[in-house]
Amino acid sequence: MLTLTIDGTEPLSAATVKALDEVCDRAEDRPGSGVVTVHVTGTPKPDWTSGLTVGLVTKWERVLRRLERLPMATVATASGDCGGPALDAFLAADLRIATPGTRLVVALEGGATWPGMAVHRLAQQAGAAGVRRAVLFGAPIPAARALALGIVDELAEDTAGAAAAAAEIADGLSGKELAVRRRLLFDAVSTSFEEALGQHLAACDRELRRTAEEEAS
């Protein structure tokens, strides 16, 4: 199990980007069954964007996209208030577990909420109406509300135990095939049936061939 902890109280830095990049490197070097676990907590402090550049934000968003596409299952656990980089990483995971007291927060800066890709992920995953107050006004999303919206999969006081149990769900699954299913799931939101059909048929054909090869061996 590959693990990483992200402290949302710390400003986004090159070190944070590098740490997540290295975890992604290790996961891609050994694709297969297994889990990447990300522990997140904390929200940005005032003036957290001081010294932040678009270049650094771009690198962060790219490594988050790597996390979303890994050939391995990803599990995120959250506690307390989570915003900034902590919220970003949480939303990019396949399975999400939070303590009952967790709140998801779109960070405020300069009199407005931060317009990063967390806004996009929240709207895609929960619908614009469900997260409108959070995105526009920075209203925290309590854990129970996040569970109802589908942003959180499970509430647990013992997040470590719940993460271990969640890892069993992915046990034995092909990481490469999981990544294919994940991509089909993402694309389904914005792709018509006709456009998606070819990709799904290709995935079905690949799966039938793979199963036949396993049975023949």
Alpha-helical runs (H) found in the chain: 14-29, 54-68, 85-91, 117-126, 128-137, 143-149, 159-170, 175-188, 193-216
Spatial distance between the Cα atoms of 174 and 73, rounded to a whole number of angstroms? 9
- Residue 110 burial by Cβ neighbours in a 10 Å radius (0-12, 13-18, 19+): exposed
138's torsion region: left (phi>0), alpha (psi -120 to 50) or beta?
left
Beta bridge partners of 82: 42, 104
Question: Alpha-carbon distance 101 to 155, whole Å?
Answer: 9
- 69 φ, ψ to 5°? -110, 10
Mean pLDDT of the 132-143 span = 97
Judged against a pLDDT cut of 90, whether residue 181 lies above it is answered with: no
Architecture of domain 2-170: Alpha-Beta Complex (3.90)
- Average pLDDT, integer, range 33-62: 91
pLDDT of 175 higher than 80: no
Q: Mind listing the pLDDT tens digit for each residue in 199-208? A: 888 888 877 7
Answer whether residue 162 shows pLDDT above 80: yes
User: What's the half-sphere exposure (Cβ side, CA atoms, 13 Å) at 6?
Assistant: 35
Most confident of 88-97, 110-119, 175-184: 88-97
For strand 154-155 and strand 95-98, is the pairing parallel, antiparallel, or unpaired?
parallel
**Is the CB of residue 87 less than 8 Å from the CB of residue 105?**
yes
> What are the tens digits of pLDDT across the range 12-34?
999 999 999 999 999 988 766 68
- The span from the CA of 82 to the CA of 94, in Å, is 17
Find the mean pLDDT for residues 193-214: 81
